[in-house]
Amino acid sequence: MKYVLRIAVVVWAMGLAWPALAQGIGTQAPDFTLVGRDGEVIRLSDFLGRPLLLNVWASWCPPCVEELPLIQGVADALGPEVLGVLLLNNNERFETALAFLEEHNLSLPAALDPTRARRKELEAAGVKLDTTLGVLRAYRVRGMPTSFFIDADGVIRAVKVGAFTRRELSQLLAEIGVEWRP
């Protein structure tokens, strides 16, 4: 019985520490270069100067699918001048991720792995691309979905692992100076 209790305490403590395993709060958000929906180059640094919600998602992740419409609604309500939003796909093929976004009427900017042909074109033009897997490692993503709340200076102010409620989202946005009431 003591053994089971010890394991339960360790598992509970790990649950509390899970967000801390992600890229550190108070640290500069690592920049990256991927492609957007139309194959255009997209960088995290393109979003500096305004608060940013960076959301890591995948089409096979039920909590991701559940929270993406909420993120889209908040972004639409606030506008891109108030809150930048970037959806970072978790290592899915470009075509798979794009089809999911279109099927679910999600129009937010998305950072994706490029097709092989587009990667070759960009690299031939001197653009050094990252991979989504490399970005996930740089951000120390350990669960899905994971959302990073980044201030206008590019500093991570909050991290949420797992889907958030409307109320939680409101509180997390306040961490980066964005007021939104559910």
pLDDT of residue 109: 96
Alpha helix segments (H runs only) across 91-164: 94-103, 116-124, 132-138
pLDDT tens sequence across 143-174: 999 999 999 999 999 999 999 999 999 999 99
Output b/e per residue, 23-56; b: 16+ Cβ within 10 A: beeeeebbebbbbbbebeebebeebbebbbbbbb
pLDDT of residue 24: 87
The structure's pTM equals 0.86
pLDDT tens sequence across 1-60: 555 445 443 444 444 444 444 568 999 999 999 999 999 999 999 999 999 999 999 999
C-alpha to C-alpha distance for 89 and 56, rounded to whole angstroms: 6
Report residue 84: phi and psi, to 5°.
-80, 140
CB 121 within 8 A of CB 108: no
Q: 2-174 belongs to which homologous superfamily?
A: Glutaredoxin (3.40.30.10)
pLDDT of residue 167: 97
Domain ranges for the chain: 2-174
